[in-house]
Amino acid sequence: MREYLLTLCITAAVTYLLTGPVRKFAIVAGAMPEIRARDVHREPTPRLGGIAMFFGLCAGLLVADHLTNLNEVFEKSNEPRALLSGAALIWLIGVLDDKFEIDALIKLGGQMIAAGVMVMQGLTILWLPIPLVGTVALTQWQGTLLTVALVVITINAVNFVDGLDGLAAGMVCIAAAAFFMYAYRIWYSYGIEAAAPATLFAAILMGMCLGFLPHNMHPARIFMGDSGSMLIGLVLAAGAISITGQVDPDVMKLFSGSERNAVHQMVPVYIPLVMPLTIIAIPAADLVLAIVRRTWRGQSPFAADRGHLHHRLLEIGHSHSRAVLIMYFWSALIAFGALAYSVNSASMWIVLGVVALSAVGLGLLLLPRFTPRTPRWAEAFVPPRYRRRRAEARAGSALTAAAAAGAPVAVGAAPVERTPQSVPAREPGTHRKLNGSTALSERTARVRTQERERA
């Protein structure tokens, strides 16, 4: 465990330290696109954060290769080199897209090529554990197609959810933490060395996300861009492929009594890893909804819009930070709930706990729909936004400002418009202070009036 923590910390440190220089490089290189209709930030922000994340990945793999216990992963398996090859290719495509906005179909082709490169080097699904059936061996073509599909789905799911500051990095970090705990348990509890590469990939992925998050939290100073979102999506998919298609349930039946019991014991996490519905359940749901929504409208599935889940959270009244935290909450609930259920699927307390937390999540989700009425005696114990006096004062000041600007003011149910005669005329060149008074002196105004009368 100490070597994994060391690898995680070094990956996070390298990513964190390189993000600042990468931000300056992105500004100089002009990787600061104008604000688009679907964006939620208010000023241009540099991209190319994936450059720092990629070098963090390289640093993590380099350090792990020189550690005593983790060095065996590189000696007995070719998966780390397969991951680095696919990651380098997908990272280059992402860098080009961050700078030049390449076509979506070209990116899709690059994702498939990167997945094919990993398959050629041995990172592929060899078999699947099916509940009540056992282990089903896959042919070479079946394993290749399933591997490519899983990589492409995971990459685009993470890419689609990258719409708010810190959202994608935080959600992938949560998924990687749950994935690390599961893979570490398979390796050390059952003594299955085939789970070692997946455990290493999860530790490095956590370091990449944790190192980048301080620069990417709201308000973000830099975005990871496609070079970062596609990279962490590929690393997450590589870990899922490694532990799903490389770990043989025949070995686990020695600990569970039979192969069927072994497969049944691993069902809560195994099948969601094949079709990522647990560790990235929220991004996968957002991906499916986006494809259905755009296809229904007759648009391309890759056409950008403002219909993602995080956009809808903002529309119903959540703040930027609260929307991100809500997405974190649901991701953690699904990922760690499945992890806990895989450890002890016979416990009803786990199911009841997940149900109770789901109810709490729904309450947080619908919070903007309610307007809490805090008693006056309790106003000192609640945040200022829930205090009635402060709310009434803000509403009154807003009405006063609207009236001073000549905007329609709602009184009851009927808006009352100020007539032009009731609005004091302003001289050309004058402007208002924050309190509504004129900035120029009355004497200057009188002099200008006399000059116009003489003319």
Taking only the tens place, the pLDDT of each residue in 300-354 is: 666 666 666 766 777 776 677 788 888 888 888 888 887 887 777 667 787 888 8
Q: Residues 164, 40: contact at Cβ < 8 Å?
A: yes
Q: In Å, what is the CA distance from 178 to each residue of 61, 87, 105, 446?
A: 20, 22, 32, 73
Is 305 annotated in some ligand binding site?
A: no
* pTM, entire model: 0.72
Question: How far, in Å, CA of 107 to CA of 97, rounded?
Answer: 8
- Cross-strand partners of 128: 136
Q: Count Cβ atoms below 10 Å from residue 179 Cβ, excluding itself.
A: 29
- Name which of 220, 206, 214 is nearest 162 in CA terms: 220
Domain count, the chain: 1
Could you give the angle at the alpha carbon of 223 between the alpha carbons of 218 and 228, nearest 5°? 130
Contacts of 334 (CB under 8 A, 6+ apart): 278, 281, 282
315 found inside a domain: no
Is 71 annotated in some ligand binding site?
A: no
CA 301, 306, 310, 312 torsion: positive or negative?
A: negative
pLDDT computed for residue 395 by the predictor: 52
38 found inside a domain: yes
321 found inside a domain: no
209 found inside a domain: yes
117 found inside a domain: yes
426 found inside a domain: no
Range of the domain at 107: 2-281
pLDDT per residue as tens digits for the range 119-130? 999 888 887 766
91 found inside a domain: yes
Q: Cα 212 to the chain's mean position, in Å? A: 12
Q: Count Cβ atoms below 10 Å from residue 130 Cβ, excluding itself.
A: 14
H helix or E strand, kind and range, residue 299:
none
Could you say which residues of the chain have pLDDT below 70?
33-42, 129-135, 190, 245-284, 300-308, 310-311, 317-318, 345-346, 368-375, 382-455
- Name which of 202, 454, 224 is nearest 339 in CA terms: 202
pLDDT computed for residue 160 by the predictor: 79
Q: Cα 128 to the chain's mean position, in Å? A: 29
Question: Which tokens belong to 49?
Answer: 């954060």
pLDDT computed for residue 342 by the predictor: 72
What's the alpha-carbon Rg for the chain, to the nearest Å? 28
In one-letter notation, the amino acid at residue 234 is L
325 found inside a domain: no
